[in-house]
Amino acid sequence: MTRRGVLGTGIALTVLRGPEAMAKEHVPPSPASPGATANPAPIDVGMTVNGERHDLRFDSRTTLLDALRDHLGLTGTKKGCDHGQCGACTVLVDGVRRNACLNLAVACDGQEIVTIEGLGDEQKLHPMQAAFVAHDGFQCGYCTPGQICSAVGMLAEIKRGLPSAATSDLTVTSMQVAEAEIRERMSGNICRCAAYPNIVAAILEAAEKASG
């Protein structure tokens, strides 16, 4: 039988059976188990955000991103793709960069969170923030909070000697902050304005000042 014949037979059978027969074959979903609820009970979560302790209560499915923005009003952390693909929501969790949209807030119970608001302010910028300003490392600015938090966490990774896909020698004890390392390690942070050369220059300057 040809491919066209198979398709034609399937269409003909569907028409002959009619919608009533097909509806009878539909299997309804099984009823919820006894005691099941549509929404889980709220859960208590305690975390330190930008040096301040917060005891919160919310749905256990709440992401760290939504907890920061909707429950604490820290809107510097941006919601971009909400799928962990753009990096706009990057924050530091116990000093390690994380995509806040992929981390449940309950998993951060007892941990220390640093957002862009906790790195510096208008009166005293963090060195990475100052470098981004000096090198014009942003245009629309939407990705900038995530870029800066990611850059700070990335330099900490290099300082700890954690290798990347661009690291040529895995035996070195002191890693260099090279452009290739920066581009590889920052590849998870997307800038739709394409200010990448300026971002790299800003990170290089901040790293040089930190080491000097």
Q: What's the pLDDT at 170?
A: 85
Q: Is the pLDDT of residue 34 over 70?
A: no
**pLDDT tens by residue, 100-152:** 999 999 999 999 999 999 999 888 999 999 999 999 999 999 999 999 999 99
Where b means 16+ CB within 10 Å and e means fewer, 163-196 reads: ebeebeeeeeeebebeeebbeebbebbbbeeebb
Q: Is the pLDDT of residue 202 over 80?
A: yes
What ranges in 34-189 are assigned the alpha helix state H? 64-66, 116-119, 127-134, 144-159, 179-185
How far apart (Å, rounded) are the C-alpha atoms in residues 78 and 89? 5
Q: Report the pLDDT averaged over residues 43-49.
A: 96
Domain boundaries defined on the chain: 40-119, 122-212
Question: Class of 122-212 per CATH?
Answer: mainly alpha
Q: What's the pLDDT at 5?
A: 66
The amino acid sitting at 204 is L
How far apart (Å, rounded) are the C-alpha atoms in residues 14 and 209? 72
CATH number for the segment(s) 40-119: 3.10.20.30
Q: Report the pLDDT averaged over residues 41-67.
A: 95
**pLDDT tens by residue, 64-76:** 999 999 999 999 9
The amino acid sitting at 91 is V
Of 48, 51, 45, which Cα lies nearest the Cα of 63? 45
What angle is formed at CA 185 by the lines to CA 182 and CA 191, rounded to 5 degrees? 80
